């Protein structure tokens, strides 16, 4: 007796046309990362739990390993969990391989991660992330914090998706401002400010006042969070709030440098937004969140920041800065509104017709010649009438049908044009070689 098959919530499985779109987007992102000099890396799927849990409130997100047939005395897997992001395993990798790496080390990493949170639209338990990070030994120059949003602007700007806006802040601005207000527990305030978009300022203010902050302190915290600017003009608005602290000054200077670089290189890409906090505790400087125009209610599709203390071992310190694109999150949002389409559902550019089953070897030979020339090709499944073979190609979106014979010919079934051709040298127009991904927003 067979049981009913039902989907697993939070574990997406795309149909072939969607998977084609995903691969094309991943390829574009990868090529952009490499254009900026980032080297590829892949780390293992599991990490020790003490490493996964040592920074931030992440225990509820971690999937732990357990072997079904493990002996009750064998607890070797009990302290292992699937990674919930790629930054923590990357920091561990740097520590383990520091003697083999050249610093500053620039890496990109495109892998699946697992996070045990409640599934909802755009949020999954298993998903692809595409990360870049730059780490250095002892110190990391601040100019790298200005470079990160430029890379993401190029990676996402070349895709057929809505325009992106990268929101930038600096944790030093927030912590310095809170210190200037006389608040000692700045981490707890940061956690609450990070919830502003989810629960709104009134609820955040109520929580902060329950934790002992005065209405005056809470009012200034919310006033800071309201500041947005397309350039370094945010600094004057912070001064008007009348709060001073050396850490605040340092953060304002660093954030202004990021904004000045972005305005000079990619005007309109970046906005300073003083409500951006990022919930993970390992961020120490610049932080980023990226919104998709028209889809702001879904939150950030790419985020990250500067971290100074994540990769440390004894006297060795490797500060870094990085950002992650939530590829599955981005695609799920757009797939749900039919906002991305592929020109065909298969990679195939040419279907080689079969005259008869006895003549199939000739068709197979023609297909092999086309493939050697880099043309994605398949052979018709049976020797039906040519009209049926053409309709088979039409249903799959295959643009060309090849007819072997004494003189081979190829037909563009969209226009009806048919010409003589040699399988060893013919190629389709460049735009037909691969499926074309288009946005419909």
**What pLDDT band is residue 259 in, cutting at 50, 70 and 90?**
very high
**What pLDDT band is residue 58 in, cutting at 50, 70 and 90?**
low
Which among 197, 199, 244 is positioned nearest to 220, based on CA atoms? 244
| Residue range 191-242, pLDDT digits in tens | 888 888 889 999 999 999 998 899 999 999 999 999 999 999 999 999 999 9
pLDDT at 2: 57
Kindly state the average pLDDT of the residues 317-338.
94
Question: How distant, in Å, are the alpha carbons of 40, 200, 326, 399, 407 from that of 379?
Answer: 36, 59, 37, 14, 18
- CATH 3.30.930.10 for domain 141-307, yes or no, is yes
| Residue range 84-129, pLDDT digits in tens | 999 889 999 999 999 999 999 999 999 999 998 777 777 889 999 9
Which among 193, 229, 233 is positioned nearest to 213, based on CA atoms? 193
Domain at 9-134+335-342: CATH code: 3.30.930.10
Domain at 350-439: CATH code: 3.40.50.800
Rounded-to-integer distance, Cα 428 and Cα 419, Å: 12
Q: Are 380 and 389 in contact (CB under 8 A)?
A: yes
Q: Are 410 and 350 in contact (CB under 8 A)?
A: yes
Q: Are 106 and 320 in contact (CB under 8 A)?
A: no
> Which residue ranges make up each domain of the chain?
9-134+335-342, 141-307, 350-439
Establish whether domains 9-134+335-342 and 350-439 are of one fold. no
Question: How distant, in Å, are the alpha carbons of 52, 257, 304, 323 from that of 147?
Answer: 28, 11, 13, 11
The per-residue pLDDT of the chain, averaged, comes to 91
Q: How far apart are the first and last CA of the chain?
A: 46
pTM for the model: 0.89
Rounded-to-integer distance, Cα 166 and Cα 291, Å: 6
């Amino acid at each position: 007796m067979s049981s009913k098959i039902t989907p697993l919530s939070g574990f997406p499985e795309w149909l072939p046309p969607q998977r084609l779109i995903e691969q094309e987007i991943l390829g574009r992102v990868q090529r952009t990362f490499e254009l900026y000099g980032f080297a590829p890396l892949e780390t293992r799927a599991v990490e020790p739990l003490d490493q996964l849990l040592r920074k931030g409130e992440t225990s509820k997100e971690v999937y732990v390993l357990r072997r079904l047939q493990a002996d009750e005395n064998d607890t070797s897997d009990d302290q292992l969990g699937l990674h919930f992001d790629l930054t923590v395993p990357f920091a561990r990798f740097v520590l383990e391989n520091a003697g083999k790496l050249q610093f500053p080390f620039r890496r990109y990493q495109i892998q699946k991660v697992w996070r045990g949170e409640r599934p909802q639209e755009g949020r999954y338990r298993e998903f692809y992330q595409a990360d870049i990070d730059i780490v250095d030994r002892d110190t990391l120059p601040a100019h790298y914090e200005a470079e990160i949003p430029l890379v993401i602007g190029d990676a996402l700007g070349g895709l057929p998706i809505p325009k992106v806006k990268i929101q930038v802040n600096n944790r030093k601005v927030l912590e310095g401002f809170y210190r200037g207000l006389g608040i000692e527990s700045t981490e707890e305030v940061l956690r609450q400010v990070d919830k502003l978009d989810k629960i709104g300022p009134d609820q955040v203010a109520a929580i902060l006042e329950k934790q002992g902050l005065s209405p005056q302190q809470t009012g200034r915290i919310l006033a800071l969070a309201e500041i947005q600017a397309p350039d370094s003009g945010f600094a004057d608005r912070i001064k008007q709030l009348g709060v001073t602290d050396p850490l605040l000054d340092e953060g304002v200077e660093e954030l202004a440098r990021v904004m000045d670089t972005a305005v000079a290189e990619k005007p309109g890409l970046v906005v300073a937004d003083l409500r951006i906090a990022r919930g993970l505790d390992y961020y120490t400087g610049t932080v980023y969140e990226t919104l998709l125009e028209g889809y702001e209610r879904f939150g950030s599709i790419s985020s990250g920041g500067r971290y100074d203390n994540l990769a440390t071992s004894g006297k060795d310190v490797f500060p870094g800065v990085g950002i992650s694109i939530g590829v599955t999150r981005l695609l799920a949002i757009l797939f749900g509104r039919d906002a991305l389409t592929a020109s065909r559902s298969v990679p195939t550019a040419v279907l080689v017709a079969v005259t008869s089953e006895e003549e199939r070897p000739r068709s197979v030979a023609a297909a092999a010649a086309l493939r050697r020339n880099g043309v994605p090709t398949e052979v018709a499944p049976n020797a039906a009438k040519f009209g049926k073979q053409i309709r088979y190609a039409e249903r799959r979106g295959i643009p060309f049908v090849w007819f072997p014979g004494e003189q081979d010919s190829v037909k563009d079934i969209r226009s009806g044009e048919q010409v003589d051709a040699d399988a060893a040298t013919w190629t389709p127009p460049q735009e037909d070689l691969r499926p074309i991904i288009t946005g419909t927003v």
